[in-house]
Structure 1
């Protein structure tokens, strides 16, 4: 004799399917939270952080080779306002801002301003670049020493471009991660 197979009943629905409008709100909330979190991380990443103790003093003792083989001693710039720009030939925002920095130097040099570009790049690439786009202000071949200097000045990620503005007494007045704007230069030109 055969026993009848037990009846299998369909599983009971534990909950009604979610309302489509409710689901959209849930997805929007998750996406919004992710966007806010991502923006917070990006903001943190692109903000200059605290400088190392003694970074300003150490800065003035540094020397870099120039593209033409001379020595660029930062100490010679002490006593007047100085804008130091960390850049590289492979960094598109760096390359875009160099003509603006050159114009700033041309306009502000008679008022005592100085500009120095520190290339975080291969010397041969910098020389080729400067042959195409000469700059009126000094350029130092900083390489990894420049990356370390940037980090000591608060650029923990090593991102480029990175700009530091120093007053005549040698103190850091402003630091900026990212491309410089005309408004930045106008604001900084009032600093001393």
Structure 2
């Protein structure tokens, strides 16, 4: 690439990333709540994300999710999407120190309660210390499944397509085990129902 073209490409990339960061840190505005805005934000962040280590599979939208393993709070293993075969799963990556993660938890709990045993299953994977998560859940209990994973370049979030490691991050896996939707940032009250329903309906 010629030197002046390389400068333009770098500047363009910086501008896109800057716009994405502005959307992120400025709060979930109207654009960020649209599918187009989410795709643009995800693309911009993925373009500058570090390459996952060799041997770490990363899910791609529209394709089967590679096996993701985490540990439930009681020590039992959790495997995605295998443990929920035949049912859609909404996987939310969070941490007890993440303010936006905490703000959206009542919305996730409301959605999980409304779905019941036969609807979209909700799983929270905390990239956090077990003691911190247990202490937090004593203050803010939820009924949906919670698992743990160590944050890093091989964590469950990376494997589910969040190579930039931004929290909160949500991935929707359909009943066939495919990644059908991704969201960077917290859900607003009432947003999650349409967000999940639209993706599930188009993949049935």
Q: Same fold (TM over 0.5)?
A: yes
Q: Report if the CA contact (8 A) 2:166-2:184 is conserved.
A: yes
Q: Distance in 2 between matches of 1:79 and 1:100?
A: 24
TM-score normalised according to structure 2 size:
0.65
28, 44, 47: which is aligned to 2:42?
47
Q: Distance in 1 between matches of 2:104 and 2:136?
A: 14
Q: For residue 137 of structure 2, give the secondary structure of its aligned residue in structure 1.
A: helix
18, 37, 44: which is aligned to 1:38?
18
Q: Report if the CA contact (8 A) 1:120-1:147 is conserved.
A: no
The CA deviation at 1:90 is 0.3
Provide Cα deviations, 1:135-176, integer angstroms capped at 9, x if missing partner. Answer: 111111112368633223332220100000111001111001
Alignment of 1:1-192 (within 5 A): 38-39=18-19, 42=22, 46-47=41-42, 49=46, 55=59, 57=64, 59=66, 61-74=67-80, 75-144=82-151, 148-181=155-188, 182-192=190-200
Q: Which runs of 5+ in 1 are unaligned?
A: 1-33
Pick closer, same or farther for the CA change 1:36–1:134 going to 2, 3 Å: closer
Larger Rg: 1
Q: Which runs of 5+ in 2 are unaligned?
A: 1-13, 24-38
Q: Which residue of 1 aligns with 2:9?
A: none
Aligned residues: 158
Q: Which residue of 2 aligns with 1:26?
A: none
Q: Distance in 2 between matches of 1:57 and 1:130?
A: 31
Q: Report if the CA contact (8 A) 2:65-2:179 is conserved.
A: no
Q: Report if the CA contact (8 A) 2:20-2:41 is conserved.
A: no
